[in-house]
């Protein structure tokens, strides 16, 4: 691997910093608050972030321009061998303006590339070039699910070329050791991003850099890379705290009274909506401890009711495809049923449904509205003794 040890150390340091920062936030003590103040993953839509990536590069330079130069110098090109692959690196920082658009500033090292050219009468020429520079890109994001998104980028980059030549036909080039030259060109790329957690994500991208070497040979360098991305400013995780039970006043001494007939049971229908963040982690369908506490409190309120049927319905916001959201809402409803059955509920009395994103109660265009739409509703039909 050519001239890469220093930049490899920077990449490793950046990745270690991101991982340690994420771990520190996960281990920080959390202040107890009410259930509606749970973490909202939409904060990441306007977050600052940093990242580091590594990948393979492939250059397409020299051939046509070099053949013309050697022919003009009286030695037509008879053989050409190029080492046009290497390892590239990049470091970057960015800012999301909303869930779809962001801007990114980066530093890149595309690696080192070389060629050996032969001509008539044993003449030969060898050249070596490396490219390093900075870029400024506009990055577009298209969410497919809560975790997976497609990426597209377009921007401008300034790459500095460092070129040197050797061999016995140096008069084919004007200067065997030309000064480092910088040129501004366009840059494009496509890729995908997968969220490992609310703050940490993994990217896979393919990018094309237009470059010019120190003697004005033009070409392209393509880089296929994998990057680790860390977003700053994640809200602290909070725990659900059930409300304290109301104090029970001491009952007065019983007074003899005529025995009244037992009241007739009256039909009762009750419906409760529990925010999905109170029950599950981001993009998960496993009930959290604070979610179990919320369900325990709900089941305690059913004491004294002869339940006939219960229906748990899962809902999602509009992020992701309809098929994905339908399955996610059903998994969450089934998880609620499984927990309530483990607490003694007759499974035959509880039915589950998944409505996906089809029944919003708020506007999905805002973060607050999407948070309200991620919920589980439980409807109970039964009889309760009249008071």
Burial of residue 251 (number of CB atoms within 10 Å: 0-12, 13-18, 19+): exposed
The total number of structural domains that make up the chain? 2
362 and 213 housed in the same domain = no
Do residues 51 and 227 make contact, with C-beta atoms less than 8 angstroms apart?
yes
pLDDT at residue 136 tops 90: yes
Q: Which whole number is the average pLDDT over 228-236?
A: 85
* 72 domain residue, yes or no: yes
* 37 domain residue, yes or no: yes
* 243 domain residue, yes or no: no
| Last residue of one domain, picked from the residues 213, 231, 249 | 231
Q: What CATH number did the domain enclosing 375 receive?
A: 3.30.1330.60
Q: Can you read off the two tokens belonging to residue 234?
A: 């994640």
Higher pLDDT, 164 or 338: 338
* 249 domain residue, yes or no: no
Q: Can you read off the two tokens belonging to residue 246?
A: 């109301």
pLDDT digits (tens, 9 = 90+) for 94-115: 999 998 999 999 999 999 888 7
272 and 227 housed in the same domain = no
Q: Can you read off the two tokens belonging to residue 329?
A: 């809402």
> In this predicted structure, what is the pLDDT of residue 58?
94
* 245 domain residue, yes or no: no
pLDDT at residue 68 tops 60: yes
202 and 315 housed in the same domain = no
Most confident of 132-146, 234-248, 298-312: 132-146
Q: With cut-offs at 50, 70 and 90, classify the pLDDT of residue 317.
A: confident
202 and 270 housed in the same domain = no
> In this predicted structure, what is the pLDDT of residue 85?
92
92 and 149 housed in the same domain = yes
Q: How confident is the prediction for the chain on average, in pLDDT?
A: 78
Q: Which whole number is the average pLDDT over 55-76?
A: 73
293 and 226 housed in the same domain = no
pLDDT digits (tens, 9 = 90+) for 77-99: 777 777 889 999 999 999 999 98
Most confident of 176-180, 187-191, 285-289, 354-358: 187-191
215 and 269 housed in the same domain = no
- Distance from the Cα of residue 234 to its chain's centroid: 13
> In this predicted structure, what is the pLDDT of residue 43?
78
Q: With cut-offs at 50, 70 and 90, classify the pLDDT of residue 265.
A: low
* 120 domain residue, yes or no: yes
The span from the CA of 30 to the CA of 37, in Å, is: 12
pLDDT digits (tens, 9 = 90+) for 157-215: 999 888 777 777 666 565 566 666 778 999 999 999 999 988 899 999 999 999 887 66
pLDDT digits (tens, 9 = 90+) for 138-169: 999 999 998 999 999 999 999 988 877 777 76
275 and 324 housed in the same domain = yes
> In this predicted structure, what is the pLDDT of residue 363?
87
pLDDT at residue 28 tops 50: no
- Rg of the chain over CA atoms, in angstroms? 32
Range of the domain at 133: 5-21+31-231
DSSP-based three-state secondary structure for 16: helix
| Last residue of one domain, picked from the residues 209, 231, 253 | 231
pLDDT at residue 26 tops 50: no
210 and 61 housed in the same domain = yes
Do residues 309 and 353 make contact, with C-beta atoms less than 8 angstroms apart?
no
Task: Kindly state the helix (H) or strand (E) to which residue 229 belongs, with its residue range.
Answer: strand 218-231
> In this predicted structure, what is the pLDDT of residue 107?
97
Q: DSSP secondary-structure letter at 349?
A: G
Q: Can you read off the two tokens belonging to residue 328?
A: 């996610």
Q: How is 71-110 classified by DSSP, letter by letter?
A: HHTT--EEEEEEE-EEEEEEEEEEEESSSSEEEEEEEEEE
Q: What CATH number did the domain enclosing 117 receive?
A: 2.40.160.20
* 57 domain residue, yes or no: yes
* 204 domain residue, yes or no: yes
> In this predicted structure, what is the pLDDT of residue 37?
37
190 and 310 housed in the same domain = no
Helices 322-342 and 289-300 cross at an angle (nearest 10°) of 60
227 and 118 housed in the same domain = yes
DSSP-based three-state secondary structure for 269: strand
- Which residues, including other chains, have CB under 8 Å from residue 3's CB and lie 6 or more apart? 112, 130
Higher pLDDT, 47 or 305: 47
DSSP-based three-state secondary structure for 239: coil
pLDDT at residue 34 tops 50: no
Q: Which whole number is the average pLDDT over 219-234?
A: 92
Show the CA angle centred on residue 278, arms to residues 274 and 279, nearest 5°. Answer: 85
> In this predicted structure, what is the pLDDT of residue 156?
96
> In this predicted structure, what is the pLDDT of residue 35?
36
312 and 203 housed in the same domain = no
- Identify the CA nearest to 331 among candidates 376, 381, 269: 376
Do residues 192 and 151 make contact, with C-beta atoms less than 8 angstroms apart?
yes
Q: With cut-offs at 50, 70 and 90, classify the pLDDT of residue 302.
A: confident
pTM of the predicted protein model: 0.56
- Which residues, including other chains, have CB under 8 Å from residue 246's CB and lie 6 or more apart? none
């Amino acid at each position: 691997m050519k001239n890469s040890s220093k930049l490899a150390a920077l990449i490793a340091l950046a990745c270690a910093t991101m991982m340690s920062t994420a771990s520190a936030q996960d281990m920080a003590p959390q202040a107890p608050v009410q259930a509606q103040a749970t973490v909202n993953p939409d904060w990441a839509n306007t977050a600052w972030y940093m990242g580091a990536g590594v990948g393979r590069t492939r250059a397409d330079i020299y051939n046509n321009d070099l053949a013309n130069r050697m022919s003009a110098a009286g030695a037509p090109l008879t053989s050409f061998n190029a080492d046009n692959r290497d390892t590239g690196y990049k470091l970057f920082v960015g800012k999301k303006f909303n869930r779809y658009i962001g801007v990114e500033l980066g530093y890149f090292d595309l690696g080192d590339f070389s060629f050996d050219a032969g001509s008539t009468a044993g003449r030969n020429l060898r050249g070596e070039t490396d490219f390093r520079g900075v870029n400024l890109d506009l990055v577009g994001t298209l969410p497919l699910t809560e975790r997976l998104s497609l990426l597209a980028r377009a921007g401008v980059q300034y790459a500095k070329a460092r070129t040197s030549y050797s061999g016995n036909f140096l008069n084919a080039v004007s200067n065997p050791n030309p000064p480092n030259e910088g040129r501004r060109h366009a840059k494009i790329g496509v890729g995908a991003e997968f969220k490992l957690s609310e703050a940490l994500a993994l990217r896979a991208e393919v990018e094309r850099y237009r470059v010019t070497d120190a003697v004005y040979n033009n070409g392209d360098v393509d880089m296929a890379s994998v990057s680790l991305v860390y977003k700053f400013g994640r809200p602290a995780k909070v725990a659900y705290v059930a409300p304290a039970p109301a104090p029970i006043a001491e009952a007065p001494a019983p007074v003899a009274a005529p025995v009244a007939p037992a009241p007739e049971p009256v039909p009762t229908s009750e419906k409760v909506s529990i925010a999905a963040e109170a029950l599950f982690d981001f993009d998960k369908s496993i009930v959290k401890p604070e979610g179990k506490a919320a369900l325990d409190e709900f089941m305690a309120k059913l004491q004294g009711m002869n339940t006939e049927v219960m229906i748990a319905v899962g809902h999602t916001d509009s992020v992701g495809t309809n098929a994905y959201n339908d399955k996610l809402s059903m998994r969450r409803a089934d998880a609620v049923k499984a927990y309530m059955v483990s607490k003694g509920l007759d499974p035959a009395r509880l039915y589950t449904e998944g409505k996906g994103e089809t029944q919003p109660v708020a506007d999905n265009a805002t973060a607050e509205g999407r948070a309200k739409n991620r919920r589980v509703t439980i409807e109970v039909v039964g009889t309760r003794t009249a008071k």
